[in-house]
Structure 1
Amino acid sequence: MKQTIRLFIVALVAGAVTLGGYKLFVANDTKIATSSISTDSTNFIPTTYNSTSLAAASNIDFTVAAEKTVNAVVHVKNTTISTQPSNIMEYFYGGGQPRAMVGAGSGVIISPDGYIITNNHVIANASDLEVALNNNQIYKAELIGADPTTDIALIKVDANEELPFVPFGDSDTVKIGEWVLAVGNPFNLNSTVTAGIVSAKARDLNEFDGNPQSFIQTDAAVNRGNSGGALVNTRGELVGINTAITSETGSYVGYAFAVPSNNARKVIEDIMEFGNVQRGILGIQGSNLNSQNAKQWGINETEGVYVAAIEKGSGAERGGLKQNDIITGIDGLKIVKFSDLTGYIGSKRPGDTVDVTVVRNGQKRNVPVTLFKLETYKIEDLGLEVKNANKADLAARGIKNGVKITDALTKDMSDFNLEDSIITEINNISIKDIDDVREIMARRNTNAPIKITFVKKTGEINSFIFR
């Protein structure tokens, strides 16, 4: 009995101690925590917080842009016929067994009557073009024209009804960090939409090959099959044509590039109106600025384009641009690097006047310049750039016609030292100007070799056959 009473007393004491400890430590801590939350709002962010300083992606509605564009982005299938030589004679003189190969990409309907913009590399060398709409309607497509330099092509389908289309946006107003959607058909997966932001503008992927470019860079996922598809803003406006990726694996790794819509639109309008692209040029030779070459040239600016030389008779010379000028703006657009300049000029035509902002001897001034027509043509299949030869060039070699080679576009061609030579014939057809070159290259059998006859500075006549 005494043992039972003793245990009961110990239990009472232990319970009193436990209850006292709870009141002293746990209950008081809970009150302090509640008081802290109610009085110090800087320690937490409620789920209803609407500060514009936060990247609230949940407030961006992509469904409107997707609905506006997904039915206007098509699947482009390109059938090419290639021949495999079966003997040495066919290898040198053409011929062999024909074989059909099918490639695929994307395109964007830009008008209700069936005009479609895509990449040149999507439709290159096509013997048959087929377009599949999002509703599984399939049409034969006609090639209207293409421009390998910008990698833009225009095709058309004839439908019995008006087609959905994507309106053009202004790519000059696109901002870094702005949301965009890439719409296309990667890996033959129809009507795929991916989202990302504009990562950079005026990105030049060929900075050192003499062919400056100006792409919109985005982190929206783009893969094989997306080429020629749409890059649109959240309003469903076309701001770019998805064209390329940079990847060590061949698949998307976070970098995708699109031709700005202003440049693409200008190219297709030229094709529709003139049959080819009318390129305007300032008429300068220049380079990017940085702290190192700024110090070398004795100037303070580290952003802009340094004018190293002015072409004689060009719009730059007539407008008053001078060697050592620093171009910092054009038509109010800030120029940081050469691709900013070439990208904007690429959306203009010969005869357009642009207002060039330059720094000269430390003073800023505006110089109006009328763009001249670029009289050069890139023979992509040969890796050569040519321009119309003037009378003096022809007379110096004792010939009456031809186009002058201005640049070798590949290392292999540069080894031949053909610069300043004059091409007089292509495939035994006499050449007068670059329009003749363009026409011959467009009509030729792509499986046959190309023969060029040219005259060097010394007057020596040579012929090369290229496969």
Structure 2
Amino acid sequence: MESPMNQGTPKQDFFTKVRAHRLTTTFTLLTTLTVGVMAGSVMTRDVSGKEQQKVDSSDARPIVIPNPVTLSNGFSQIVKQVGPAVVNINTESLPKQALKKPGRGLQRPMPNPHGDQDGQGGNQGDMQDFFNKFFGGQNPGGGGGDDDDAGGGERRALGSGYIVDPRGYIITNNHVVDKADKIFVKLAGDSDSADPGYAARVIGVDTETDIAVIKIDAKEPLPTVGLGNSDGAQVGDWVLAIGSPFGLSQTVSAGIVSAKNRSIDERDAQGLSKQFQRFIQTDAAINPGNSGGPLVDMGGKVIGMNTAIYTQSAGSEGVGFAMPSNIVAKVYNDLISPEHKVIRGSIGIQFQAAQSSAVNRVYGFTSGGVIVGSVTKGGGAEKAGLKPGDILVSIDGRQIKDGDDLVADISARKVGTNVQIGYLRDSKPEKHTASVTIGDRAKVYAALAGAGTEDESAPEESDAGQTKLGITVTALPAPVAQKLGIQGGVTVSNVTPGSFADEIGLAKGTLIVEINKQPVVDDASYRAVVSRLKTGDDVVFVVRDPRASRSSGNSFLGGTLR
């Protein structure tokens, strides 16, 4: 018999079986894993061996880079043709103290319920940030626009332009060079060195169309681009925009003409619409710095000048605007004339450009015409007897289509000439005719804005020397001249920092009595002398201190005109 100590209990037998079963299971699992690892190693070794086998690739042919070819779209040929005439314009504005004015910045145009002076009104106040001027704040660190703190340091800005005369005449936007004390131009082939480029001077500007003409002096004839006829451009035509967006010179973008004769409600400091700005709309990418650059058709001709964008992000959103070349050409021809300004005609009325057909039917001019909103006091229309509510239906016997037609005709006429205006009054069918004298639109505009003066004897400020000399002057009042014992003269009312006058020490308040031995007794004589000055001339001013007595002597200031 076995001893009770050696006899296993049922509980002990159960745990013994479990342990035995666990060892069997574990051994089975280990055996399976070992076989799997060995099989994987064999397979891997087999694949590695296959990869190491030599493969015959003698039938493979090497890739050969083909010779460069010209693509069929022709864009590159146009760029080669036009690109050399596109320039980069950079400007410097010196610090100015106590000259800060209300900013123009990114404005939201407001609708004008009364229309415009002899013009259209594009009632588009819902388009926010519409006329974003491009050139401001493109320094390396970004920055603000063209109305940043006027009391700050020197400001720099960038824009574009294009050469239209081999002698160095360049077309750009007025807002690119506006307020600039120094203007520099870099040609297409110039390096990106620290050299600012050629010094440029302003020949003339037209704020109504935002067009400016500047000039540089080069030793050799410069490449030019030709202007095309913008009337021939059709919606859907391919166009290229060339310029210096964000300072990246010779940048090209492509798009189409999206619309024509587009108006926007951009206004001047007096809140009056700039009615002569009628644009070609394009989806070619236009960005800050493109301003002033050309919009080119597929014939390599400039059909517009990139001027504005519609944006809510300060960048291109596919809606850009270019001033048509036909307008640019006319303004350019006026700005290079001896007067260096654009003189437009006006009859002195205001009217609403766009109105519903119901208004036309009720007032009886469904076949075309313009209803007078107001008449400018002292203007040609008032003197001819025209009144608010009159309906202008014809000019010299030709039927008036609309307000744009009226503006185009009147503004192109010579100041002082007469025009026969046909009109209807008091909803009666009888047609009346009035002979209206064409006035200078700039003067009528100033009177409308409240800038005119009733004192005809008040001294008139002259800007004849602003471009060449950097000064504006006012005629010396007769009592002051008599007190000083002189025939007359002009007093310097403003000096542009960094200008020729500033460099030779001509200060504000100085009395000029002679220029280059020619007496200056009034505004007319001053203008006559200044108009003959040209780059390279020696210019000597005979000046006096108007606060001094009769016995005070003359002083002489001079230099070579740059």
Range of TM-score over shorter length: 0.5 to 0.7
Aligned to 1:324: 390
TM-score by length of 1: 0.59
C-alpha contact (below 8 Å) 1:289/1:302 kept by paired residues? no
- After TM superposition, the structure 1 = structure 2 runs for residues 388-403 of structure 1, keeping only pairs within 5 Å, are 389=453, 393-394=454-455, 400-401=457-458
Aligned to 2:173: 119
Distance 1:236 1:172 in 2: 16
Aligned to 1:11: none
Q: Give the C-alpha shift of residue 141 in structure 1.
A: 1.4
Higher relative contact order (CA 8 A, sep 6+): 2
Aligned to 1:251: 315
Identity %: 33
Per-residue CA deviation, residues 233-262 of structure 1 (Å, 9 max, x unaligned), is 222222222111121111111221222223
Distance 2:298 2:382 in 1: 39
- Of the three residues 173, 185, 190, the one matched with 1:131 is 185
Q: Give the C-alpha shift of residue 375 in structure 1.
A: 4.2
Distance 2:258 2:156 in 1: 33
Return 5+ residue gaps in structure 2 as ranges.
1-70, 99-149, 192-196, 462-471, 479-490, 499-507, 510-562
Aligned to 1:307: 372
Higher helix share: 1
C-alpha contact (below 8 Å) 2:392/2:400 kept by paired residues? no
Q: Which SS does the other structure have where 2:220 is aligned?
A: coil
- After TM superposition, the structure 1 = structure 2 runs for residues 40-51 of structure 1, keeping only pairs within 5 Å, are none
Aligned to 1:190: 249
Change (3 A) 1:440 1:65: farther
- Of the three residues 198, 204, 209, the one matched with 1:145 is 204
C-alpha contact (below 8 Å) 2:240/2:297 kept by paired residues? yes
Aligned to 1:103: 157
Tell me how large the CA RMSD over aligned residues is: 4.9
Distance 1:196 1:328 in 2: 40
- Residue 80 in structure 1 maps to residue 93 in structure 2: yes
Aligned to 1:270: 334
Q: Which SS does the other structure have where 1:376 is aligned?
A: helix
Q: Which SS does the other structure have where 1:67 is aligned?
A: helix
Aligned to 1:458: none
C-alpha contact (below 8 Å) 2:368/2:400 kept by paired residues? no
Distance 2:398 2:222 in 1: 37
Q: Give the C-alpha shift of residue 68 in structure 1.
A: 2.7
C-alpha contact (below 8 Å) 2:348/2:444 kept by paired residues? no
- After TM superposition, the structure 1 = structure 2 runs for residues 192-341 of structure 1, keeping only pairs within 5 Å, are 192-206=251-265, 209-211=271-273, 212=275, 213-273=277-337, 274-291=339-356, 294=359, 297-299=362-364, 301=366, 305-308=370-373, 314=380, 324-325=390-391, 335=401, 338-339=403-404, 341=406
C-alpha contact (below 8 Å) 1:329/1:358 kept by paired residues? no
Aligned to 1:20: none
Return 5+ residue gaps in structure 1 as ranges.
1-57, 86-95, 405-425, 433-438, 452-467
- Residue 374 in structure 1 maps to residue 428 in structure 2: no
What letter is aligned with 2:272? G
C-alpha contact (below 8 Å) 2:90/2:184 kept by paired residues? yes
Higher strand share: 1
Distance 1:367 1:172 in 2: 33
- Of the three residues 223, 238, 241, the one matched with 1:164 is 223
Change (3 A) 1:206 1:443: farther
What letter is aligned with 1:203? R
Q: How many residues align?
A: 344
C-alpha contact (below 8 Å) 2:253/2:284 kept by paired residues? yes
Distance 1:172 1:258 in 2: 13
Q: Which SS does the other structure have where 1:270 is aligned?
A: helix
C-alpha contact (below 8 Å) 2:474/2:492 kept by paired residues? no
Q: Give the C-alpha shift of residue 186 in structure 1.
A: 0.7
C-alpha contact (below 8 Å) 2:167/2:218 kept by paired residues? yes
TM-score by length of 2: 0.50
Q: Give the C-alpha shift of residue 116 in structure 1.
A: 0.4
